């Protein structure tokens, strides 16, 4: 005798009235197949969704780093081209210890002094330390801009060549590395 | 109920799918997925090109700054290549380092007026030569941007 698959149906009348039609319900193998297929579709779509979100997040991180780097780069150029005096120091500590005698031709700290038309003096310090590039105004504690995951393009962040000051740095993101170069000269040097 | 009615009620909709219907359904699904994949690739390409074009603008701005502020004696001679770099440096998981893709460089066309005198001046035109990825495959396309000439004098 041929074994018939078990049918699941909540309403006994439909079994009597509609033999052979779709109202019969599902057999156990059909139900299991549907569950497996459903689980497969869920896993595939969840994986695709996670991959999409992860990619969107990394692209956002790159866009953010690019924007921050461009702003910092423009800020270096702007500070240099409006400065009445500027100096490069090996690092921030050297500048803080002795701003007169620790001046260097290249280093990881750049100080620009600008005099406004109203006679106010603004001192801007760009300093690279432990992967962090910061811009501080008038006081080291007053950080106006900071970027992490930064490395100098060459050995030092800031260099000068016959009065042309350049700042070259790279920002590492999970997806790619971004390189920025800033150039500027004090009006006195032009 | 007669046998004929039974056949009628159990008509086509209750018989399940034929092999042809399943194959046609599979084909339609495949075409849909292929279309989605192609659309996704075009979107990715457009996003990358937009980012790279922004980068090209930044590189041009940096070169303009350099031309404006570089000391006269450091200005390039005719035909010199300068300010080179890479537009795209993706992280390579295998080597755990950054690859150097899509190189760019500037070439200078320089005309010197009154050479060797105190009135010496130079007209410098920079041309940016760079590569961008092609829409299809892993090919690259060469591009060029000519910047406006810059006039610099020794005095």
Pairwise CA distance, residues A169 & A154, whole Å: 8
Per the domain annotation, does B1 fall within a domain? no
Contact A169, A152 (CB under 8 A): yes
| Interface touch A164/B70, C-beta < 8 Å | yes
Is residue B79 classed as helix, strand or coil in its secondary structure?
Answer: coil
What's the average model confidence in pLDDT over A61-81?
93
| Interface touch B89/A190, C-beta < 8 Å | no
What's the average model confidence in pLDDT over B57-69?
92
Residue B116: the pLDDT is: 84
Contact A137, A122 (CB under 8 A): yes
pLDDT > 90: percent of chain B: 63
Domain boundaries, chain A: 48-189
Contact B89, A177 (CB under 8 A): yes
Taking the CA of residue A186 and the nearest CA in chain B, the distance in Å comes to 9
| Interface touch A162/B74, C-beta < 8 Å | yes
Q: A78-134, pLDDT tens digit by residue?
A: 999 899 899 999 999 999 999 999 999 999 999 999 888 888 899 999 999 999 999
Pairwise CA distance, residues A153 & A171, whole Å: 10
Give B-chain residues touching A178 at CB under 8 angstroms.
89
The verdict on pTM exceeding 0.95 is no
Taking the CA of residue B18 and the nearest CA in chain A, the distance in Å comes to 16
Is residue A14 classed as helix, strand or coil in its secondary structure?
Answer: helix
Interface A-B, measured as beta-carbon pairs within 8 A, has a size of 64
Pairwise CA distance, residues A185 & A61, whole Å: 32
Pairwise CA distance, residues B80 & B125, whole Å: 11
Number of domains chain B contains: 1
Residue B3: the pLDDT is: 46
Per the domain annotation, does B2 fall within a domain? no
- Retrieve residue A71's tokens: 């702003």
Per the domain annotation, does B10 fall within a domain? no
Per the domain annotation, does B9 fall within a domain? no
- Retrieve residue A176's tokens: 């790619």
pLDDT at residue B123 above 70?
yes
Residue A92: the pLDDT is: 94
Per the domain annotation, does B71 fall within a domain? yes
Write down the ipTM of this complex.
Answer: 0.78
Q: In chain A, which residues touch B (CB < 8 A)?
A: 20-22, 59, 62-63, 66, 70, 73, 77, 80-81, 161-164, 174-185, 189-190
Q: B8-26, pLDDT tens digit by residue?
A: 445 555 677 888 999 999 9
Taking the CA of residue B89 and the nearest CA in chain A, the distance in Å comes to 5
Is residue B51 classed as helix, strand or coil in its secondary structure?
Answer: helix
Pairwise CA distance, residues B126 & B77, whole Å: 11
Domain that holds residue B132: 16-153
Residue A190: the pLDDT is: 57
Per the domain annotation, does B5 fall within a domain? no
């Amino acid at each position: 005798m041929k074994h018939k698959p078990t049918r699941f149906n909540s309403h006994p009348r439909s079994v009597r009235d509609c033999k052979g039609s779709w109202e019969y319900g599902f057999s156990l193998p059909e139900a299991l197949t549907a569950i497996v297929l459903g689980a497969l579709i869920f896993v595939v779509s969840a994986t695709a969704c996670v991959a999409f979100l992860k990619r969107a997040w990394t692209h956002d991180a790159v866009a953010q780093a690019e924007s921050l780097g461009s702003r910092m780069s423009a800020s270096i150029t702007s500070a240099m081209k409006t400065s009445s005096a500027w100096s490069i120091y090996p690092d921030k500590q050297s500048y803080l210890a002795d701003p007169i005698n620790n001046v260097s031709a290249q280093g990881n700290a750049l100080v620009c002094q600008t005099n406004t038309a109203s006679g106010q003096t603004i001192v801007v310090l760009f300093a690279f330390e432990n992967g962090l590039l910061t811009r501080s105004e008038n006081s080291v504690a007053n950080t106006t801009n900071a970027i992490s995951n930064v490395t100098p393009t060459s050995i030092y962040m800031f260099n000068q060549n016959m009065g042309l000051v350049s700042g070259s740095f790279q920002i590492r993101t999970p997806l790619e590395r971004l390189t920025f170069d800033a150039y500027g000269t004090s009006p006195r040097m032009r | 109920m007669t046998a004929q009615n039974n056949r009628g009620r159990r008509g086509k909709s209750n018989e399940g799918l034929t092999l042809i219907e399943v194959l046609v359904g599979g084909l339609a699904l495949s075409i849909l997925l292929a279309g989605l994949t192609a659309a996704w690739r075009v979107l990715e390409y457009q996003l990358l090109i937009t980012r790279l074009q922004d980068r090209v603008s930044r590189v041009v701005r940096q070169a303009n700054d350099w031309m404006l502020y570089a000391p006269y004696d450091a200005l390039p001679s005719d035909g010199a290549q300068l300010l080179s770099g890479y537009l795209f440096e993706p992280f390579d998981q295998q080597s755990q380092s950054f690859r150097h893709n899509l190189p760019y460089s500037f070439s200078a066309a320089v005309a010197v007026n009154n050479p060797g005198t105190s009135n010496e001046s130079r007209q410098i035109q920079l041309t940016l030569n760079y590569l961008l990825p092609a829409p299809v495959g892993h090919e690259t396309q060469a591009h060029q941007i000519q910047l406006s000439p810059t006039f610099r004098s020794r005095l």
